[in-house]
C-alpha cells in the first residue's frame, strides 16, 4: 500500500472515531437533559453511564447569575389525590412568561387513590412531545398514610400529616434538583398568580422568599389570609417558645394553641414591600437552590419547635440565610 493510501485510511479512521465520540456525547447530554420520567418505588436510582458527567458548580457561578432570565428554575410540586386539579395547574404554568427552556418541573406523588398518576402522566406526556420544558421528572413514593381530604386540617392530625409532607418534599428535592439556580415550591392548588411571577420573585435576589397567599370563602367570596405559616415572631411568641418542652411542635391557625405570632398576610397594604419573616409556608416559595444544597431541608423533627416548611424557615435562618416575605405580592389558593 502506498504511503498516500495509508494516510488516507488513517484520516478516515480518525474522522469515523471522532463522529462516534460526538454521537455518544450528544446522546449522553440529551439523556441528562432528562426528557424522561423516573419512578421512585422505594428503591435507589442507580447511576448509569448515561448520567455520568461532570458539572462544576464553580463554572456555572450560580450566585453570579441569579437575576437574569438565563437562570434555571426548578418548580417542585408534591401531589396527593389531586387528579381534578392538575389541568388548571398546568394551564397556569403554561402562562408563565419566564422562558420555558429554563424551567424544569418536578413532581412527587404519594399515597394516591384517585388516579393522580395517570392524569399527571398524560399531562406530562403531551408536554414532553412538545418539548416545552427543560426537564420534567415524576416520582412516586408511598408512605401508607391515608386521610380523608376533609380531615386534613384536624389539629390532632397536623404533626403526622406535616411529617409526611416534609418527607415528601425532601424526597422530591433530593431526586429532582440537579443544576438549577432556583427552586420554586408551588402547591397544586395555587390557582391565581401573575404570569411574570418567576421574573418578579427572582429579581429580589433573596435566599428564601414567600409570596403572600390568600384565598376566598366559597359561599361568600370573602377574601382572607390562607397561609399562616409565613409568620413573624413577636416578643410574646418568643417568650412562649422559651416555655416549651424541647420536642414540642407548634402549628399555626389553630385555636387549640395560641402562638402570638404576626402573619405576612396581615401586612398586606401596610406600606412595606419586603419584610423579614421567621416561618415560611411552601405554597408559593422561592428558594435559592444553594440554600437547599447547603443543608436546608424540611425537618421532620422540630427545629426551634417547627417542622416541615416552617422548620425549613427556622433552619435557613439558623444557617444565616435571608428569609423574607412579600406582603403585597398576593397569590391565591383555590377557594375554600
Ligand atoms: N407527595 C405528597 N403531596 C402531598 C401530601 N399531602 C399534601 N400534598 C400536596 O402538597 C401540597 C399542599 O397540600 P394541601 O393539602 O393543599 O395543604 P394546605 O392547603 O396547606 O392544606 C399540595 O400540592 C398537595 O397535593 C403528601 O402526603 N404527599
Ligand atoms: Mg392547599
CATH number at 62-333:
3.90.550.10
Please tell me the distance between residue 324's alpha carbon and the centre of ligand 1 in angstroms.
23
Pair type for strands 223-225 and 323-333: unpaired
Using left for φ > 0, alpha for ψ between -120 and 50, and beta otherwise, residue 269 falls in left
Q: What is the pLDDT along the chain (336 residues), one digit of tens a residue?
A: 566 777 777 777 777 766 655 554 443 333 223 334 444 333 333 445 455 556 666 654 444 445 555 899 999 999 999 999 999 999 999 999 999 999 999 999 999 999 999 999 999 998 987 778 999 999 999 999 887 777 777 777 889 999 999 999 999 999 999 999 999 999 999 999 999 999 999 999 999 999 999 999 999 999 999 999 999 999 999 999 999 999 999 999 888 889 999 999 999 988 899 999 999 999 999 999 999 999 999 999 999 999 999 999 999 999 999 999 999 999 999 999
Q: Is 7 helix (H, G, I), strand (E, B) or coil?
A: helix
Look at ligand 1, atom 7, and give the residue with the nearest C-alpha. Answer: 80
Please give the pLDDT value at position 69: 59
Quick check: CB of 77 below 6 Å from ligand 1?
yes
Please give the pLDDT value at position 8: 75
Helix axes 116-130, 86-94, angle to 10 degrees: 20
273: CB partners within 8 A, 6+ apart: 326, 327, 328
Q: What is the DSSP string of 62-95?
A: GGGSTTSTTS-EEEEEEESS-TTTHHHHHHHHHT
Ligand number, closest to the Cα atom of 80: 1
Which atom from ligand 1 is nearest to the alpha carbon of 109?
1
Please tell me the distance between residue 23's alpha carbon and the centre of ligand 2 in angstroms.
45
Please tell me the distance between residue 103's alpha carbon and the centre of ligand 1 in angstroms.
22
Amino acid at each position: 500500500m502506498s504511503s498516500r493510501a495509508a494516510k488516507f485510511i488513517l484520516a478516515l479512521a480518525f474522522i469515523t472515531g471522532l463522529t462516534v465520540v460526538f454521537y455518544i456525547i450528544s446522546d449522553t447530554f440529551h439523556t441528562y437533559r432528562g426528557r424522561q420520567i423516573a419512578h421512585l418505588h422505594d428503591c435507589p436510582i442507580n447511576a448509569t453511564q448515561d448520567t455520568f458527567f461532570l458539572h462544576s458548580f464553580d463554572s456555572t457561578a450560580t450566585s453570579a447569575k441569579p437575576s437574569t432570565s438565563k437562570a434555571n428554575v426548578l418548580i417542585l410540586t408534591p401531589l396527593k389525590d389531586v387528579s381534578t386539579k392538575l389541568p388548571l395547574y398546568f394551564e397556569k404554568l403554561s402562562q408563565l412568561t419566564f422562558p420555558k427552556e429554563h424551567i424544569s418541573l418536578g413532581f412527587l406523588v404519594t399515597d394516591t387513590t384517585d388516579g393522580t398518576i395517570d392524569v399527571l402522566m398524560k399531562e406530562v406526556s403531551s408536554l414532553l412531545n412538545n418539548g416545552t420544558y427543560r426537564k420534567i421528572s415524576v416520582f412516586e413514593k408511598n408512605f401508607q398514610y391515608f386521610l380523608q381530604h376533609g380531615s386534613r386540617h384536624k389539629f390532632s392530625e397536623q404533626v403526622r400529616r406535616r411529617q409526611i409532607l416534609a418527607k415528601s418534599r425532601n424526597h422530591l428535592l433530593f431526586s429532582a434538583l440537579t443544576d438549577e439556580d432556583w427552586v420554586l415550591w408551588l402547591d397544586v392548588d395555587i390557582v391565581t398568580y401573575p404570569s411574570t411571577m418567576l421574573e418578579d420573585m427572582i429579581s429580589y435576589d433573596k435566599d428564601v422568599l414567600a409570596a403572600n397567599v390568600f384565598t376566598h370563602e366559597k359561599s361568600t367570596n370573602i377574601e382572607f389570609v390562607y397561609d399562616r405559616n409565613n409568620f413573624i415572631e413577636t416578643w410574646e411568641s418568643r417568650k412562649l417558645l422559651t416555655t416549651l418542652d424541647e420536642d414540642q411542635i407548634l402549628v399555626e391557625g389553630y385555636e387549640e394553641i395560641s402562638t402570638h405570632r404576626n402573619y405576612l398576610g396581615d401586612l398586606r397594604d401596610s406600606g412595606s414591600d419586603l419584610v423579614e419573616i421567621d416561618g415560611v409556608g411552601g405554597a408559593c416559595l422561592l428558594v435559592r437552590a444553594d440554600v437547599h444544597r447547603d443543608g436546608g431541608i424540611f425537618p421532620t423533627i422540630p427545629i426551634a419547635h417547627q417542622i416541615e416548611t416552617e422548620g425549613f424557615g427556622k433552619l435557613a435562618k439558623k444557617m444565616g440565610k435571608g428569609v423574607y416575605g412579600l406582603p403585597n405580592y398576593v397569590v391565591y389558593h383555590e377557594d375554600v
